Amino acid sequence: MPGEQVPAARRALAVLRLLASSARPLAASVIARELGLPRSSTYHLLTAMAEDGFVTYLPEDRLWGLGVTAFEIGSAYLRQGPLERLAGPLLVRLVDRVGEIAQLGVLHGPETLYLLKEQPRHHATLVTDVGVRMPAYLTASGRSMLAYLPAAQVRALIPGDLVNRTGAGPRSLRELRRLLAEDARRGWAVEDGHVTEGFASIAACSFDHVGRPAAAITVTFRRDARAEDEWPEVATRAREAAAELTRRLSGHAPSRRGAP
């Protein structure tokens, strides 16, 4: 019996992963094709999963999507704070290496939400503290994640007229696209006085198991304390920390970036 249950469990998990990676609900025939399953087995599997709320059927569209039970499990994951637990030691190590503030941020709609911050003693206080939300297009952390989203998703998230705080930063979606293309090509994002005058930030993106942006690790420093030729070294340290977080999340970087 256990041997029979393991393949069934793996098929159910494969369905959940496929639906989670899709931007929209899928037809049963598509699920069967993508996973290499017989159609009849796929329908039986989806029906059983729907009974427990893991998937839901949309009769008008004849499509299947994630159910409320899957949402509850995802919410429980967030309540346990594993992302912060996994990233915390990496931020401490990063602060020791660069001697500057290190932060962990995630995308929350069109904003960057800061979850963690580590800093050396006697360092200046930043406006981007834990729990603070900032427009993602203004922050290095936000841009490092936006650079790997599909162009259509970036358009949906970011309004046409971009507001700035200090007079610096992108003012249009076209200018933002140019910055995102540069960020993706370089592998890290930088903002110079876009959030707080006199401070610059460098950020690198971490990815989840399907290659989507999961979080960003940022280093922030006084603009007059580091010459620009030092910034690539700071970026290297941030990218190393972000890559380690990707590994801890069992993630992988996408084969290509998302935004044009």
Residue 32's CATH number: 1.10.10.10
**Which range of residues forms the domain containing residue 10?**
2-75
How confident is the model at residue 2, as a pLDDT? 43
The tens place of each residue's pLDDT in the chain, 260 residues long, gives 344 456 888 999 999 989 988 888 999 999 999 999 999 999 999 999 999 999 999 998 999 999 988 887 776 666 656 888 899 999 999 999 999 999 999 988 888 988 899 988 766 555 556 677 888 999 999 999 999 999 888 888 887 678 776 667 788 888 899 999 999 999 999 998 888 888 999 999 999 988 999 999 999 999 888 889 999 999 999 999 999 999 999 899 987 555 54
Domain end, chosen from 75, 92, 108, is at 75
Q: Does residue 153 sit in the same domain as residue 177?
A: yes
Look at residue 125 and tell me if it is in a domain.
yes
Q: Examine residue 255 and state whether it is found in any structural domain, yes or no.
A: no
Same domain, 135 and 85: yes
Tell me if 260 is assigned to some domain. Answer: no
Domain boundary among 75, 105, 125: 75
- CA 75 – CA 181 distance, rounded (Å): 32
Are residue 140 and residue 197 in the same domain, yes or no? yes
Tokens 């922050």, located at residue = 139
Q: Whose CA is closest to 49, among 9, 96, 6, 88? A: 9
Containing H/E element for 4? helix 2-21
In a shared domain, residues 170 and 240: yes
Q: What is the pLDDT of residue 122?
A: 64
The structure's pTM equals: 0.70
Q: Give residue 257's pLDDT.
A: 52
Please check whether residues 47 and 98 belong to one and the same domain. no
The pLDDT value recorded for residue 159 is 72
**Residue 229 placed within a domain:** yes
87 shares a domain with 65:
no
Pair 194, 99 in one domain? yes
Q: Of the candidates 247, 251, 180, 189, which has an alpha carbon nearest to the alpha carbon of residue 219?
A: 189
Residue 191 covered by a domain: yes
In degrees and rounded to multiples of 5, residue 98 shows phi and psi of -105, -15
Q: What is the total count of domains within the chain?
A: 2
What residues are paired with 102 via a beta bridge?
118, 219
Within-domain flag for 258: no
* No. of helices (H) and no. of strands (E), the chain: 9, 8
Q: Give the CATH number of the domain where residue 234 resides.
A: 3.30.450.40
Residues 49 and 124 grouped into a single domain: no
Residue 175 and residue 191 in one domain: yes
